[in-house]
Amino acid sequence: MARATCARCGMHPNTCVCDECERVDNSQRVVVLQHPSEVSHSKGTVRVLRQCLARIDVLVGEDQTSFARQGLEGLLSKTRTGLLFPSADSQPVEGGATSDIDQWLVLDGTWRKAAKILHLNPQLGQLPCFHFADPPVSQYRIRKAPRAGQLSTLEAVAHLLTLTEPDTDIAPLLNAQEALVRKRLAFVPDGHRDSRHQASGIAYACGQPQCKPR
């Protein structure tokens, strides 16, 4: 018998949080480049973003060819896009240099996978690059001992919108993530909480070891 899955997110009812996802009317479009290995992860937060954000595109791939087939070039050519990824020459979002940005590009994957996407797509290096000067503490408790500044993709987008669209209510995003965390931890015995999966995440504060010249 086939396993029951949600028609919206494709996940098992035990990990589906679609009923917890409320609309967030963001004005700046968010484009997520998701590594293929992240698509089926039940702990991933991009599926929550897709359910909540009014303006979002999720492109799954790794190299230029895969993203070109999904229209990335067209998305980048029509707007002033900022890349949220820390590097040696990235600027703080809090610095106010984002006033002309009307679309954000975010990478979904581990640091290594995100770095590979950047390496295989050199055109992304031409985009203005940003990091968080003071990222919030992650509440994504599925992850074991995150490094300072490391956030889930949802938390990164939520904090980005908080800084660039202060009138946008991002509470539904964080509430949906909390529901996901509760569902996942419900299946982890108390004695095994310290062996939690090392989920994907990027440390979005510059000064981290990953901040190397692009």
Within a domain: residue 187? no
CATH code of 159's domain: 3.40.1280
Which pLDDT value is given to residue 144? 56
* DSSP-derived secondary structure for 74-88: HHHHTS-EEEE---T
Within a domain: residue 209? no
Percentage above 70 pLDDT, the chain = 84
What number is the average pLDDT over the span 86-113?
A: 92
Q: Residue 214's closest CA among 79, 118, 94?
A: 118
Q: What mean pLDDT value characterizes the chain?
A: 85
The CA-atom distances, in angstroms, between 145 and each of 3, 148, 150, 165 are 32, 9, 10, 30
Within a domain: residue 211? no
Domain carrying residue 175: 20-180
Q: What is the tens place of the pLDDT at every residue in 105-158?
A: 999 998 899 999 999 999 999 999 999 999 998 888 876 545 667 899 999 999
Within a domain: residue 9? no
- 3: confidence class by pLDDT, cuts 50, 70, 90: low
Within a domain: residue 192? no
Number of domains making up the chain: 1
Within a domain: residue 189? no
**What is the value of pTM for the model shown?**
0.86
Which pLDDT value is given to residue 209? 45
Can you say how many angstroms the Cα of residue 47 is from the centroid of all Cα atoms in its chain?
10
Within a domain: residue 156? yes
Which pLDDT value is given to residue 187? 66
In angstroms, the CA 202 to CA 152 distance is: 7
Within a domain: residue 129? yes
